[in-house]
Protein backbone atom coordinates (compact mmCIF):
# COMPACT_ATOMS: atom_id res chain seq x y z
CA UNK A 1 0.00 0.00 0.00
CA UNK A 2 1.48 3.39 -0.95
CA UNK A 3 2.63 5.55 1.95
CA UNK A 4 3.52 9.22 2.16
CA UNK A 5 7.24 10.02 2.27
CA UNK A 6 8.45 10.56 5.83
CA UNK A 7 8.00 14.15 6.96
CA UNK A 8 5.66 15.16 4.13
CA UNK A 9 1.96 15.87 4.14
CA UNK A 10 -0.15 15.32 1.06
CA UNK A 11 -0.06 19.04 0.26
CA UNK A 12 3.77 18.95 0.24
CA UNK A 13 4.11 16.16 -2.34
CA UNK A 14 5.94 17.07 -5.54
CA UNK A 15 5.44 15.64 -9.02
CA UNK A 16 7.97 12.86 -8.49
CA UNK A 17 6.30 11.80 -5.25
CA UNK A 18 2.88 11.79 -6.87
CA UNK A 19 3.93 9.77 -9.87
CA UNK A 20 5.61 7.23 -7.60
CA UNK A 21 2.61 6.89 -5.30
CA UNK A 22 -0.06 6.86 -8.01
CA UNK A 23 1.57 4.82 -10.78
CA UNK A 24 -1.04 2.43 -12.16
CA UNK A 25 -3.88 3.83 -10.02
CA UNK A 26 -7.29 4.26 -11.61
CA UNK A 27 -8.65 6.61 -8.97
CA UNK A 28 -7.26 9.29 -6.69
CA UNK A 29 -9.17 10.51 -3.63
CA UNK A 30 -7.42 13.78 -2.95
CA UNK A 31 -7.26 16.49 -0.31
CA UNK A 32 -5.20 19.64 -0.77
CA UNK A 33 -2.36 18.91 -3.19
CA UNK A 34 -2.06 20.99 -6.39
CA UNK A 35 -2.84 18.85 -9.44
CA UNK A 36 -1.23 20.26 -12.57
CA UNK A 37 -1.20 19.19 -16.19
CA UNK A 38 2.32 17.79 -15.70
CA UNK A 39 1.11 15.58 -12.89
CA UNK A 40 -1.88 14.32 -14.88
CA UNK A 41 0.13 13.66 -18.03
CA UNK A 42 2.39 11.37 -16.02
CA UNK A 43 -0.54 9.26 -14.80
CA UNK A 44 -2.09 7.70 -17.94
CA UNK A 45 -4.05 5.06 -15.98
CA UNK A 46 -5.71 7.60 -13.73
CA UNK A 47 -9.41 7.90 -14.60
CA UNK A 48 -10.71 10.10 -11.77
CA UNK A 49 -9.57 12.80 -9.37
CA UNK A 50 -12.13 12.65 -6.57
CA UNK A 51 -11.95 15.59 -4.16
CA UNK A 52 -12.97 14.77 -0.59
CA UNK A 53 -14.19 18.33 -0.27
CA UNK A 54 -16.03 20.83 -2.44
CA UNK A 55 -13.30 23.17 -3.63
CA UNK A 56 -11.44 22.30 -6.82
CA UNK A 57 -9.37 25.41 -7.59
CA UNK A 58 -6.17 23.41 -7.03
CA UNK A 59 -7.05 21.01 -9.87
CA UNK A 60 -6.28 21.87 -13.49
CA UNK A 61 -9.76 20.92 -14.67
CA UNK A 62 -9.09 21.99 -18.27
CA UNK A 63 -6.15 19.60 -18.50
CA UNK A 64 -8.14 16.84 -16.81
CA UNK A 65 -10.94 17.09 -19.33
CA UNK A 66 -8.57 17.29 -22.30
CA UNK A 67 -6.77 14.18 -21.01
CA UNK A 68 -10.05 12.25 -20.73
CA UNK A 69 -10.26 12.25 -16.94
CA UNK A 70 -13.06 12.96 -14.49
CA UNK A 71 -12.95 15.45 -11.63
CA UNK A 72 -15.54 15.20 -8.87
CA UNK A 73 -16.24 16.88 -5.54
CA UNK A 74 -17.97 15.57 -2.42
CA UNK A 75 -21.09 17.69 -2.90
CA UNK A 76 -23.30 17.81 0.17
CA UNK A 77 -20.71 16.32 2.48
CA UNK A 78 -19.58 19.28 4.55
CA UNK A 79 -22.03 22.17 4.11
CA UNK A 80 -23.65 21.46 7.49
CA UNK A 81 -20.35 21.55 9.37
CA UNK A 82 -19.25 24.80 7.70
CA UNK A 83 -22.62 26.44 8.35
CA UNK A 84 -22.36 25.42 12.02
CA UNK A 85 -18.91 26.98 12.17
CA UNK A 86 -20.19 30.26 10.68
CA UNK A 87 -22.90 30.52 13.34
CA UNK A 88 -20.32 29.74 16.02
CA UNK A 89 -17.98 32.43 14.73
CA UNK A 90 -20.75 35.01 14.50
CA UNK A 91 -21.70 34.43 18.12
CA UNK A 92 -18.09 34.15 19.34
CA UNK A 93 -17.02 37.45 17.79
CA UNK A 94 -20.25 39.23 18.69
CA UNK A 95 -20.13 38.11 22.33
CA UNK A 96 -16.35 38.70 22.59
CA UNK A 97 -15.61 35.19 23.86
CA UNK A 98 -11.88 35.24 23.09
CA UNK A 99 -11.36 38.64 24.67
CA UNK A 100 -13.35 37.67 27.78
CA UNK A 101 -11.49 34.41 28.33
CA UNK A 102 -8.07 36.06 28.00
CA UNK A 103 -9.13 38.71 30.51
CA UNK A 104 -10.30 36.04 32.96
CA UNK A 105 -7.01 34.16 32.66
CA UNK A 106 -5.30 37.37 33.75
CA UNK A 107 -7.65 37.59 36.73
CA UNK A 108 -9.78 40.35 35.23
CA UNK A 109 -13.41 39.36 35.56
CA UNK A 110 -15.02 42.54 34.31
CA UNK A 111 -18.01 41.95 32.02
CA UNK A 112 -17.43 42.73 28.35
CA UNK A 113 -20.67 43.77 26.68
CA UNK A 114 -21.18 42.15 23.29
CA UNK A 115 -23.89 42.01 20.64
CA UNK A 116 -26.52 39.43 19.66
CA UNK A 117 -27.22 37.56 16.45
CA UNK A 118 -30.95 37.54 17.30
CA UNK A 119 -33.04 39.54 14.77
CA UNK A 120 -29.95 41.00 13.13
CA UNK A 121 -29.52 41.72 9.43
CA UNK A 122 -27.22 39.05 7.93
CA UNK A 123 -25.73 39.26 4.44
CA UNK A 124 -24.79 36.06 2.63
CA UNK A 125 -22.56 36.43 -0.43
CA UNK A 126 -22.96 33.34 -2.60
CA UNK A 127 -25.81 30.88 -2.15
CA UNK A 128 -24.71 27.33 -2.83
CA UNK A 129 -25.14 24.39 -0.46
CA UNK A 130 -23.37 26.06 2.46
CA UNK A 131 -25.21 29.34 1.99
CA UNK A 132 -28.52 27.45 2.08
CA UNK A 133 -27.48 25.55 5.21
CA UNK A 134 -26.55 28.83 6.85
CA UNK A 135 -29.86 30.46 5.90
CA UNK A 136 -31.72 27.52 7.42
CA UNK A 137 -29.88 27.99 10.72
CA UNK A 138 -30.41 31.75 10.71
CA UNK A 139 -34.18 31.23 10.69
CA UNK A 140 -33.88 30.20 14.33
CA UNK A 141 -32.34 33.57 15.14
CA UNK A 142 -35.18 35.42 13.37
CA UNK A 143 -32.52 37.10 11.25
CA UNK A 144 -33.31 39.24 8.23
CA UNK A 145 -31.29 37.49 5.51
CA UNK A 146 -29.94 39.40 2.50
CA UNK A 147 -28.44 37.32 -0.30
CA UNK A 148 -26.30 38.30 -3.28
CA UNK A 149 -25.89 35.41 -5.70
CA UNK A 150 -26.49 34.72 -9.40
CA UNK A 151 -27.73 31.27 -8.36
CA UNK A 152 -30.57 32.56 -6.19
CA UNK A 153 -33.97 31.25 -7.28
CA UNK A 154 -37.55 32.29 -6.54
CA UNK A 155 -37.93 29.02 -4.66
CA UNK A 156 -34.92 29.86 -2.48
CA UNK A 157 -36.43 33.24 -1.63
CA UNK A 158 -39.68 31.57 -0.56
CA UNK A 159 -38.10 28.62 1.27
CA UNK A 160 -35.67 30.67 3.35
CA UNK A 161 -37.57 33.98 3.56
CA UNK A 162 -34.73 35.88 1.87
CA UNK A 163 -34.28 39.37 0.53
CA UNK A 164 -32.54 39.35 -2.85
CA UNK A 165 -29.88 42.02 -2.71
CA UNK A 166 -26.74 43.32 -4.36
CA UNK A 167 -23.27 43.36 -2.89
CA UNK A 168 -23.27 47.08 -2.19
CA UNK A 169 -26.49 46.90 -0.18
CA UNK A 170 -25.22 43.92 1.81
CA UNK A 171 -22.02 45.78 2.65
CA UNK A 172 -23.83 48.93 3.78
CA UNK A 173 -26.72 47.37 5.70
CA UNK A 174 -25.62 44.06 7.22
CA UNK A 175 -24.69 43.49 10.84
CA UNK A 176 -23.01 40.21 9.89
CA UNK A 177 -21.62 39.22 6.48
CA UNK A 178 -20.65 35.67 5.53
CA UNK A 179 -18.85 34.89 2.26
CA UNK A 180 -19.63 31.68 0.36
CA UNK A 181 -18.67 32.56 -3.21
CA UNK A 182 -16.22 30.45 -5.22
CA UNK A 183 -12.73 31.89 -5.70
CA UNK A 184 -12.34 32.99 -9.34
CA UNK A 185 -10.61 35.82 -11.15
CA UNK A 186 -13.80 37.82 -10.78
CA UNK A 187 -14.21 37.19 -7.03
CA UNK A 188 -10.54 37.61 -6.05
CA UNK A 189 -10.43 40.36 -3.39
CA UNK A 190 -14.20 40.67 -3.57
CA UNK A 191 -13.90 42.20 -0.12
CA UNK A 192 -11.16 44.83 -0.48
CA UNK A 193 -10.45 48.16 1.22
CA UNK A 194 -13.28 49.86 -0.66
CA UNK A 195 -15.78 47.17 0.33
CA UNK A 196 -14.66 47.22 3.95
CA UNK A 197 -15.06 50.99 3.96
CA UNK A 198 -18.75 50.59 3.08
CA UNK A 199 -19.47 48.31 6.04
CA UNK A 200 -20.95 49.44 9.33
CA UNK A 201 -18.43 50.08 12.11
CA UNK A 202 -20.48 47.56 14.13
CA UNK A 203 -20.38 44.87 11.42
CA UNK A 204 -18.75 41.45 11.68
CA UNK A 205 -17.21 39.71 8.64
CA UNK A 206 -16.97 35.91 8.37
CA UNK A 207 -14.86 34.18 5.72
CA UNK A 208 -15.00 30.39 5.65
CA UNK A 209 -14.96 30.26 1.85
CA UNK A 210 -11.51 30.68 0.37
CA UNK A 211 -8.43 32.76 1.09
CA UNK A 212 -8.28 35.40 -1.63
CA UNK A 213 -11.96 36.34 -1.48
CA UNK A 214 -10.87 38.88 1.14
CA UNK A 215 -7.88 41.20 0.86
CA UNK A 216 -6.33 40.19 4.19
CA UNK A 217 -4.07 43.22 4.30
CA UNK A 218 -7.05 45.54 3.94
CA UNK A 219 -8.96 43.53 6.54
CA UNK A 220 -6.08 43.84 9.00
CA UNK A 221 -6.05 47.60 8.53
CA UNK A 222 -9.83 47.81 9.00
CA UNK A 223 -9.75 45.78 12.20
CA UNK A 224 -6.78 47.61 13.68
CA UNK A 225 -8.51 50.93 13.04
CA UNK A 226 -11.95 49.84 14.30
CA UNK A 227 -13.57 50.30 10.89
CA UNK A 228 -15.54 47.10 11.61
CA UNK A 229 -16.31 45.30 14.88
CA UNK A 230 -14.53 42.00 14.18
CA UNK A 231 -14.01 38.96 11.97
CA UNK A 232 -14.25 35.19 11.97
CA UNK A 233 -11.67 33.57 9.70
CA UNK A 234 -11.12 29.98 8.60
CA UNK A 235 -9.22 30.75 5.38
CA UNK A 236 -6.30 33.03 4.56
CA UNK A 237 -4.38 34.36 1.58
CA UNK A 238 -1.17 32.97 3.09
CA UNK A 239 -2.42 29.42 2.45
CA UNK A 240 -1.40 29.89 -1.18
CA UNK A 241 0.93 32.88 -0.81
CA UNK A 242 3.57 32.38 1.92
CA UNK A 243 4.67 36.01 1.54
CA UNK A 244 1.45 36.97 3.36
CA UNK A 245 2.14 34.85 6.44
CA UNK A 246 2.99 37.92 8.53
CA UNK A 247 -0.42 39.40 7.71
CA UNK A 248 -2.12 36.19 8.82
CA UNK A 249 -0.15 36.17 12.06
CA UNK A 250 -1.14 39.77 12.73
CA UNK A 251 -4.81 38.92 12.16
CA UNK A 252 -4.55 35.98 14.56
CA UNK A 253 -3.17 38.23 17.29
CA UNK A 254 -6.17 40.59 17.30
CA UNK A 255 -8.66 40.43 20.18
CA UNK A 256 -11.61 40.85 17.81
CA UNK A 257 -10.74 37.91 15.52
CA UNK A 258 -11.86 34.30 15.98
CA UNK A 259 -9.72 32.02 13.80
CA UNK A 260 -9.47 28.39 12.72
CA UNK A 261 -6.91 26.64 10.44
CA UNK A 262 -9.20 25.94 7.44
CA UNK A 263 -11.07 23.46 9.60
CA UNK A 264 -14.69 24.26 8.78
CA UNK A 265 -15.26 20.91 7.10
CA UNK A 266 -13.30 18.92 9.67
CA UNK A 267 -15.86 17.41 11.98
CA UNK A 268 -16.08 13.66 12.54
CA UNK A 269 -19.41 13.57 10.79
CA UNK A 270 -18.45 15.72 7.80
CA UNK A 271 -15.23 13.79 7.19
CA UNK A 272 -17.17 10.53 7.19
CA UNK A 273 -19.65 11.94 4.69
CA UNK A 274 -17.09 13.51 2.33
CA UNK A 275 -14.82 10.46 2.38
CA UNK A 276 -17.73 8.18 1.54
CA UNK A 277 -19.00 10.42 -1.27
CA UNK A 278 -15.48 10.71 -2.72
CA UNK A 279 -15.00 6.94 -2.57
CA UNK A 280 -18.33 6.26 -4.28
CA UNK A 281 -17.48 8.71 -7.06
CA UNK A 282 -14.15 7.00 -7.62
CA UNK A 283 -15.78 3.55 -7.77
CA UNK A 284 -18.44 4.78 -10.19
CA UNK A 285 -15.85 6.09 -12.66
CA UNK A 286 -13.54 3.09 -12.36
CA UNK A 287 -16.55 0.88 -13.15
CA UNK A 288 -17.40 3.17 -16.08
CA UNK A 289 -20.57 4.47 -14.45
CA UNK A 290 -21.73 8.05 -14.04
CA UNK A 291 -21.19 9.52 -10.57
CA UNK A 292 -23.92 11.78 -9.09
CA UNK A 293 -24.47 14.80 -11.35
CA UNK A 294 -23.99 17.31 -8.52
CA UNK A 295 -20.52 15.89 -7.84
CA UNK A 296 -19.15 16.12 -11.39
CA UNK A 297 -16.99 19.12 -12.28
CA UNK A 298 -15.60 17.81 -15.57
CA UNK A 299 -15.97 14.48 -17.37
CA UNK A 300 -13.52 13.99 -20.21
CA UNK A 301 -14.59 10.42 -20.96
CA UNK A 302 -16.18 9.57 -24.29
CA UNK A 303 -19.07 7.46 -23.00
Burial call 9-31: b when 16+ CB within 10 Å, e when fewer? eeeebeeebbeebbeeeebbbbe
From the list 34, 188, 239, 301, the catalytic residue is 239
Strands of the 230-233 sheet, one edge to the other: 162-164, 144-148, 121-125, 176-179, 204-207, 230-233, 257-259
CA triple 14-18-21, angle to 5 deg: 140
Of 210, 229, 237, 273, catalytic: 210
Q: Which of 19, 32, 34, 262 is catalytic?
A: 262
Q: How many CA atoms within 13 Å lie on the side-chain side of 228?
A: 33
Q: Are 199 and 206 in contact (CB under 8 A)?
A: no
Known active-site residue 262? yes
Measured in whole angstroms, how far is the alpha carbon of residue 293 from the centre of its chain?
21
Residue 151: CB atoms within 10 A of its CB come to: 12
Active-site annotation, residues: 210, 239, 262
Amino acid sequence: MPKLPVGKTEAQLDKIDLHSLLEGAGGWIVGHVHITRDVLEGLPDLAIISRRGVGYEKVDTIAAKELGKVVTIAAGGNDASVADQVIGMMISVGRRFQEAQKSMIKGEWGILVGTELFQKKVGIIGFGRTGRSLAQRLKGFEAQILVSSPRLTTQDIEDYNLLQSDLDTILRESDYISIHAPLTRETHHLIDAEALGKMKSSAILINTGRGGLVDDSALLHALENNQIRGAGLDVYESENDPSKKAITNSLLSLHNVIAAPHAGASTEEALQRTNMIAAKCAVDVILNRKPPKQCVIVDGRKL
